[in-house]
Amino acid sequence: MENMLHLAPTSRVPLDCFVLPRDQLPPAMSPAVVSLPVIDMRRGRDEVRRAVLDAGKEFGFFQASPRINKQVVGHGVPEQVLRDMEAVCEEFFLLPAPDKAEFYSEDKAKRNRLFSGATYETGGDKYWRDCLRLACPFPVVASDTTKGDWPDKPQRLREVVEKFIVLARRVGMELLRLLCEAMGLQPDIFVGDISGGDVIININRYPPCPSPRTMLGLPPHCDRNLITLLLPGAVHGLDVAYKGDWIKVEPVPNAIVVNFGQQLEVVSNGMLKSIEHRATTNSVKARTSVATFIMPTPDCLIGPAEEFVGEDNPPYYRTVKFRDFVRTYNVVKLGSGLNLTTNLRNVQKEISSK
Ligand X SMILES: O=C(O)CCC(=O)C(=O)O
Amino acid at 63: Q
CA 238 to chain centre: 11
Q: Is 291 in the site for ligand X (CB under 6 A)?
A: yes
Widest CA span of the chain, in angstroms?
Answer: 61
CB of 184 to ligand X, least distance (A): 31
Q: Is 132 in the site for ligand X (CB under 6 A)?
A: no
Positions in 199-228 near ligand X (CB under 6 A): 202, 204, 218
Positions in 68-107 near ligand X (CB under 6 A): none
User: 75, 113, 205, 277: which one contacts ligand X (CB under 6 A)?
Assistant: 277
Among 211, 218, 285, 284, which Cα is nearest to 16's?
211
* Closer residue to ligand X (CB): 128 or 190: 128
Rounded alpha-carbon distances, angstroms, from residue 38 to 14, 35, 69, 236: 40, 8, 9, 17
Q: Is 232 in the site for ligand X (CB under 6 A)?
A: yes
Residues 6+ apart with CB under 8 A from 87: none
User: 254, 289, 292, 341: which one contacts ligand X (CB under 6 A)?
Assistant: 289
Q: Is 262 in the site for ligand X (CB under 6 A)?
A: no
Q: How far apart are CA 66 and CA 61, in angstroms?
A: 17
Q: Please, which residues bridge with residue 302 across strands?
A: 320
Q: How far apart are CA 91 and CA 328, in angstroms?
A: 36
Q: Is 280 in the site for ligand X (CB under 6 A)?
A: no
Q: Is 194 in the site for ligand X (CB under 6 A)?
A: no
Q: Is 134 in the site for ligand X (CB under 6 A)?
A: no
Q: Is 238 in the site for ligand X (CB under 6 A)?
A: yes
User: 117, 197, 237, 296: which one contacts ligand X (CB under 6 A)?
Assistant: 237
CB of 273 to ligand X, least distance (A): 16
Q: Is 279 in the site for ligand X (CB under 6 A)?
A: yes
CB of 85 to ligand X, least distance (A): 14
- Which span (37-45, 64-72, 167-175, 230-238) binds ligand X, by CB under 6 A? 230-238
* Closer residue to ligand X (CB): 86 or 181: 86
Rg (CA), the chain: 19
Q: Is 64 in the site for ligand X (CB under 6 A)?
A: no
Residue 350 φ/ψ, nearest 5 degrees: -60, -40
3-state secondary structure of 5: coil
Residues 159 and 258 sit within 8 Å (Cβ to Cβ): no
3-state secondary structure of 163: helix
| Contact footprint for ligand X (CB under 6 A) | 202, 204, 218, 230, 232, 237-238, 277, 279, 289, 291
